[in-house]
Amino acid sequence: MRLRLTAVLLLAVGSGMLAASSARAQQPVGQVAADVNKKLVKLFGAGGFKGLPSYGTGILVSPKGYVLTVNNHILSSTNLRVHLYDGRVYAAKLVSREPEFDLAIVKIENDVDFLPHYDVDKAAASPIGEAGDMVFAHSNAFQIATRDEPMSIQRGVIAAYTDLRGRRGVFDAPFNGEVYFIDTVANNPGAAGGALTNRKGDLLGIIGRELKNTLTDTWINYAVPIQSKVDLVRDQKNEKVNIPLFIRESIEGKYKEGDKKKKEDKGGYHGIVLVANAVSATPPYVEEVMPESPAAKAGLKPDDLIVYVDGNLVPSIRMFRELMKTYGPEDPAIRMEVQRGNKLESMTLKLTQQPKSK
């Protein structure tokens, strides 16, 4: 009888310990979500393209209103707006981009200070998350939140930490370093630029845009680690750039975009005549298409707005011209996406030799 009673007591004690352990494991994360929410913003652009959202998410990385987000189409809006966690709404402007990270920095135009934010240097000094770690994806997926409404939060685990092999539409993803693959459907419209955190709310990475795996042709859910680095050529020098450096130099107003590989000026002929480059960031609107030119054969029309060239965002005439210099007649056809009305049209353009002057 005594042995049986002892066994029952041990079973009861063991069950109590398991219940207590389970209770601790299942503690609510509401406070963590609320703290993270204060460090995130909702981004809204004017209008948008059919099939592409006009809203997104950003991460505050400075008390003065600097925001880290993805390098997407809404940043070219003339009416970019930021909604803070407490309902305040501000106009914002693009500060810098780094296409190789597929990230950008925007700044609230009003003078603000003491905003809750992430210390990216501290976050980047933390160890990389491991497969099996519990994570939370915080974002404005599907534009569920506006003004002071809280961000969405999804729970999952890190499934893998490995190279990104993805594409956006027919274009390869700009960033191809190692990323967190997560087992929750986090990469939805509007989620790009959101925060991937651990259970404590520490920043692990930036949620990427919607991509398909180039190997399996399936949608993938991933985040770019805050510790990521890319090898760039800046001011004719090879340089390793990490995300904290990109943020810091952007805030200081001295960040210069890099290039994975310097390419020679090939100067192929396309037959596109753009509108006058009146201001520093004039969008690449098509003014005229030369008859029988590669552009005419591809189907470009006057008033088209060129948005992507081989997957690279081209928000200005300058960037379009610099990028086109790297292509020549010997290269494969260039894939372009243009805004026509409120739709995004895809086409291919094969450059030729410059026509001889008559």
Rounded to the nearest integer, the mean pLDDT of the chain is 86
Let me know whether 208 and 282 are in one domain: no
321 against 259, higher pLDDT: 321
pLDDT grade for 3, boundaries at 50, 70 and 90: very low
Per-residue confidence (pLDDT) for residue 318, from 0 to 100: 81
The pTM score is 0.72
Let me know whether 288 and 219 are in one domain: no
Let me know whether 207 and 337 are in one domain: no
Per-residue confidence (pLDDT) for residue 48, from 0 to 100: 56
pLDDT grade for 27, boundaries at 50, 70 and 90: low
Residue 49 lies inside a defined structural domain of this protein = yes
Let me know whether 199 and 121 are in one domain: yes
Question: Rounded distance, CA 180 to CA 223, Å?
Answer: 5
Let me know whether 197 and 330 are in one domain: no
Residue 307 lies inside a defined structural domain of this protein = yes
Q: What is the mean pLDDT of residues 57-76?
A: 94
Tokens encoding 226? 């805050």
Residue 189 lies inside a defined structural domain of this protein = yes
pLDDT grade for 171, boundaries at 50, 70 and 90: low
Let me know whether 167 and 284 are in one domain: no
190, 225, 260: which is the final residue of a domain?
225
Per the structure, the count of domains in the chain is: 2
Q: For 231-290, what is each residue's pLDDT tens digit?
A: 888 887 888 999 999 999 999 999 988 776 544 556 789 999 998 876 657 889 999 999
Residue 25 lies inside a defined structural domain of this protein = no
Residue 256 lies inside a defined structural domain of this protein = no
Residue 178 lies inside a defined structural domain of this protein = yes
CA 4 to chain centre: 62
CA 122 to chain centre: 21
314 against 85, higher pLDDT: 85
Question: Rounded distance, CA 319 to CA 326, Å?
Answer: 11
Of 103, 66, 62, 104, nearest to 82 (Cα)? Answer: 66
Q: For 195-232, what is each residue's pLDDT tens digit?
A: 999 999 999 999 999 888 877 788 999 999 999 999 88
Asked if residue 294 has pLDDT above 50, the reply is: yes
Let me know whether 213 and 278 are in one domain: no
Residue 332 lies inside a defined structural domain of this protein = yes
205, 225, 245: which is the final residue of a domain?
225
Asked if residue 170 has pLDDT above 70, the reply is: no
Cβ distance 274 to 317 under 8 Å? yes
Let me know whether 210 and 283 are in one domain: no
Residue 66 lies inside a defined structural domain of this protein = yes
225, 257, 287: which is the final residue of a domain?
225
Let me know whether 47 and 106 are in one domain: yes
CATH code at 119?
Answer: 2.40.10.120
What is the span of the domain harbouring residue 120?
31-225
CATH code at 332?
Answer: 2.30.42.10
Let me know whether 99 and 203 are in one domain: yes
Tokens encoding 74? 């809404």
Cβ distance 209 to 222 under 8 Å? no
Report percent pLDDT > 90 for the chain.
60
Q: For 102-141, what is each residue's pLDDT tens digit?
A: 999 999 999 998 999 999 999 999 999 999 999 999 999 9
pLDDT grade for 47, boundaries at 50, 70 and 90: low
Tokens encoding 205? 């990475």
Let me know whether 101 and 203 are in one domain: yes
- Kindly give, in sequence order, each residue whose CB lies less than 8 Å from that of residue 176, ignoring residues fewer than 6 positions away: 163, 164, 165
Let me know whether 124 and 181 are in one domain: yes
